[in-house]
Amino acid sequence: MPTRSRNRYSALSLLKHGLSHHENWQRAWRNPTPKQSYDVVIVGGGGHGLATAYYLAKVHGITNVAVVEKGYLGGGNTGRNTTIIRSNYLWDEAAHLYELSMKLWEGLTQELNFNVMFSQRGVMNLGHTLQDMRDIERRVNANRLNGIDGEVLSTAEIQTKIPLLNCSPDSRYPILGASWQPRGGTARHDAVAWGYARGADALGVDLIQQTEVTGIRRQNGVAVGVETNRGFIGAARIGCVTAGNSGVLAGMAGLRLPLESHPLQALVSEPLKPCLDTVVMSNAVHGYVSQSDKGDLVIGAGIDRYNGYGQRGSLHVVEHTLQAICELFPAFSRVRMNRQWGGIVDTCPDACPIISATSVPGLYFNCGWGTGGFKATPGSGFVFADTLAKGKLHSLAAPFTVDRFHSGALIDEHGAAGVAH
C-alpha cells in the first residue's frame, strides 16, 4: 500500500477503535476454575513462577500445571522493581546462572511473541574509593574469563557517556571509575509477567488468581497438595516461588529457611525529556537510577533495615536515596517525585538465591533472590522448570541448594548485589 493511503488507513482505524470503547478485546489468558489436582502446582504468580510454568509446558511438555497466586499476576516484586538487568556477578556459579538469563532476555520478545521492551542500554556501577576500584577490576576480569561482557571505565569515559553525572573531584565521594556492562539494561516488568502468563496459558497452564495458599498438605511426610482459601488442590510436585513470603510458605510445611524479609522501595519522578540513556548504580553514595521510556526517572536504593511484610518502606530511606541521586546528578534536584512504593525481598546470608528440593518429598523452593531477582526471571524459570520436570536439580541450580548453609559452600555475592543488604 502506498504510504499516504496506509497513513489514511491507520488514522481511520485509530478513530474507529478509539470510538469503539475498547470492545471485543480478547482476554490475554483464561480465568479457570481450579481442577482437583495437577502434575505441578506453582505457588506464586510473579515473573519467576510464570516463567517456570511456561518452560514446564514449552520445554518439557508438562501442561497439567497450575500457578496459584494470592493477588494478581505480577503484583508482587515483579511489578515493583526498578527493572535493572545485568549478569556481572563475581563467582562462576552465579555468573553462569545470570548469564543464562541474559541470553534468554536477548530472545525473549521473539520467544513470547510479546514485547517485553528489553533495552540493552548498558549498566554502569560506579567506584568511589580505591577498594571499590579493586573490586570492580576483579569482577570485570572474572566476568571476562566467563565470557561475560565487561569493561572498566575511567572518569573521563564516564563523563563522556553521561554528561549530567557529577564527576567533579570535589564531590563528597569523587567518581574514580566504573564497571560497564553494555549488554545490561532494563525491561518492562509488567510485560514480562504478562508475556509469560499469556504464553503459559496458551499452552494449557491454569493461572489461578485471587487464591491464597494457606497450607501444604502432607501424607506420610510427602507433599500431596496445597490448601487454599478456595479449597484443596492436589499436586504431584509443588514449587514455591513466593518472593517476600517464602519463610511463611516454608513454615506451612514445618521447614525453616535461612531468609530475612525486608522492605525495599523505589520511586519514580515526573516524566522528563530524554536525559539519561543508560543505568547508573552507586553502592557507596547508594542510589541507582535509569530513565523509563515514558521519561520518568526510576530510582531506588537499599533495603529498610528492619524486617517486615508491609509493601511500603519509610521516609528516611527515601530521603537518603534522593540525597544520593542529587549528589550524583545535581540537575535532578529540581525534579519532582511522583510515586513511591515498596516490595518485600527475602534475602539470604550470602546474597544468592535458594533453588532446592526440601526434606519434604515433592516440595521445592525457588526463593531468596533478595534485591536482584528480576534480572534472573527467565533463567530462574528455565532451571526451576527443568528441576521440577525431572525431580533432579538442573546443573546450574545445583550450587544453590539450601545444603550450602550446612556444607559451608556459600557463594558470597554481596559485592555484586548492587544494593547493600
Residue 215 DSSP SS3:
strand
String marking each residue 261-300 x if it binds ligand FAD according to CB under 6 A: ---xxx---------------------------------x
Question: 404 touches which of ligand FAD, ligand PYC, none (CB within 5 to 8 A by kind)?
Answer: none
User: Which residues share a beta bridge with 126?
Assistant: 178, 282
* Cα–Cα distance measured from residue 302 to residue 286, given in angstroms and rounded to the nearest whole number: 7
According to CB under 6 A, which residues from 358 to 377 bind ligand PYC? 371-372
- Of 373, 378, 379, 399, the residue at the interface with ligand FAD (CB under 6 A) is 373
Sign, Cα dihedral of 229, 230, 236, 242: negative
Report if residue 419 touches ligand PYC, rule: CB under 6 A.
yes
| Number of residues forming the site for ligand PYC (CB under 6 A) | 9
How does 180-207 read in b/e, with b if 16+ C-beta sit within 10 Å? bbebbbbbbbbbbbbbbbbbbbbbebbb
Q: State which residue, 342 or 399, has the beta carbon closest to ligand FAD.
A: 342
Q: Which among 307, 381, 393, 309 is positioned nearest to 45, based on CA atoms? A: 381
Q: State which residue, 88 or 245, has the beta carbon closest to ligand PYC.
A: 88
Sign, Cα dihedral of 390, 394, 398, 402: negative
Q: State which residue, 288 or 384, has the beta carbon closest to ligand PYC.
A: 288
Q: State which residue, 236 or 243, has the beta carbon closest to ligand FAD.
A: 243
Residue 289 DSSP SS3:
strand
Measured CA distances, 141 to 87, 153, 412 (Å): 13, 13, 17
Report if residue 180 touches ligand PYC, rule: CB under 6 A.
no
Question: 75 touches which of ligand FAD, ligand PYC, none (CB within 5 to 8 A by kind)?
Answer: ligand FAD
269: cell is 519522578
- Of 300, 313, 353, 381, the residue at the interface with ligand PYC (CB under 6 A) is 300
* Cα–Cα distance measured from residue 344 to residue 421, given in angstroms and rounded to the nearest whole number: 13
Give the ranges where 162-285 is alpha helix by DSSP (H): 189-202, 246-252
What strands, in cross-sheet order, belong to the sheet with 297-303? 151-153, 177-181, 123-127, 279-282, 287-291, 297-303, 260-269, 337-347
Report if residue 87 touches ligand PYC, rule: CB under 6 A.
no
Give the ranges where 67-213 is alpha helix by DSSP (H): 92-112, 130-145, 155-161, 189-202
Report if residue 128 touches ligand FAD, rule: CB under 6 A.
no
By DSSP bridging, strand 151-153 and strand 177-181 are: antiparallel
Report if residue 418 touches ligand PYC, rule: CB under 6 A.
yes
Where residue 368 falls (left for φ over 0; alpha for ψ -120 to 50; beta otherwise) is left
Q: Which stretch binds ligand PYC (CB under 6 A): 81-89, 290-298, 335-343, 357-365?
A: 81-89
Q: Which stretch binds ligand FAD (CB under 6 A): 81-89, 142-150, 197-205, 405-413?
A: 81-89
Report if residue 44 touches ligand FAD, rule: CB under 6 A.
yes
Measured CA distances, 150 to 163, 177, 201, 268, 418 (Å): 21, 13, 37, 28, 15
CB of 371 to ligand PYC, least distance (A): 4
CB of 209 to ligand FAD, least distance (A): 9
Report if residue 288 touches ligand PYC, rule: CB under 6 A.
yes
Among all residues, whose Cβ is closest to ligand FAD?
Answer: 46
Q: Which stretch binds ligand FAD (CB under 6 A): 72-80, 100-108, 116-124, 155-163?
A: 72-80
| Eight-class DSSP state of 46 | S
Q: State which residue, 115 or 209, has the beta carbon closest to ligand FAD.
A: 209
CB of 67 to ligand PYC, least distance (A): 24
205 near 63, Cβ under 8 Å? yes
Report if residue 313 touches ligand PYC, rule: CB under 6 A.
no
Contacts to ligand FAD by CB under 6 A: 43-49, 68-71, 75-78, 80-84, 212-213, 241-245, 264-266, 300, 343, 345, 369, 371-375
Contacts to ligand PYC by CB under 6 A: 82, 84, 86, 288, 300, 371-372, 418-419
